[in-house]
Amino acid sequence: DCCHEILGHCPMLADANFAQFSQELGLASLGASDDEIDKLATHALTDKANVLAFDPAITIETEPIITAFQNVYFYTESFNEAKLQMREFAKTIKRPFGLRYNPYTQTVDVLTNTRKIANIVSELKGDLCIVTNALSKLKVSDTESLNR
């Protein structure tokens, strides 16, 4: 199964959307109960199964079979759609804190007070400043191109 994992799944992490989906799935499991983690760990193994649209609320109720092929596969139109659905599902996990992956320190921030949340807002403001600056440069560049 190492070949399956390394050759089949690792290259998918090079895709930013899939990597973010994987990160959010991991964050959803932190602080979750064993029952909720079991629900997040359900999967399918064969193309002979029924195919249903991905819905975390339905997927978690589908019993995974580890000694034989699965009865049901779940699909999604895109990783973005799956990420949105997982975010909504993660909101239903009962825990007394919020979580955020910090890409700068490569750590998980446990959001337990307003100071920590204010720090994230400050980081977001800085990121928005960078994006706004880049957009203004694109507008100038586009305007100069039109005037030529």
Residue 136: partners with Cβ closer than 8 Å, 6 or more residues away:
none
**Which residues define the annotated binding site?**
4, 9
State the pLDDT at residue 128.
96
Q: Is 105 inside a domain boundary?
A: no
Domain count, the chain: 2
The better pLDDT of the pair 5, 126 is held by 126
Q: Which residues contact 25 (CB under 8 A, 6 or more apart)?
A: 40, 86
Distances (CA, A) of 8 to 4, 56, 125: 5, 23, 37
- Reported as half-sphere exposure (CB side, CA atoms, 13 A), residue 121 has a value of 6
Per-residue pLDDT reduced to its tens digit, 6-32? 667 778 888 888 888 888 888 888 888
Binding-site members for Fe cation are 4, 9
The pLDDT assigned to 1 comes to 46
Indicate if the pLDDT at residue 44 is higher than 50.
no
pLDDT in tens, 106-116: 999 999 999 99
Arithmetic mean of pLDDT over the chain:
82
Residue 125 banded pLDDT, cuts 50, 70, 90 = very high
Q: Indicate if 90 and 53 belong to the same structural domain.
A: yes
Note whether 11 and 37 are same-domain residues: yes
Q: What is the mean pLDDT of residues 62-66?
A: 72
Q: What are phi and psi of 124, to 5 degrees?
A: -65, -40
Domain coverage including residue 30: 2-99
Tell whether 104 is covered by a domain: no
| Cβ(113)–Cβ(52) below 8 Å | no
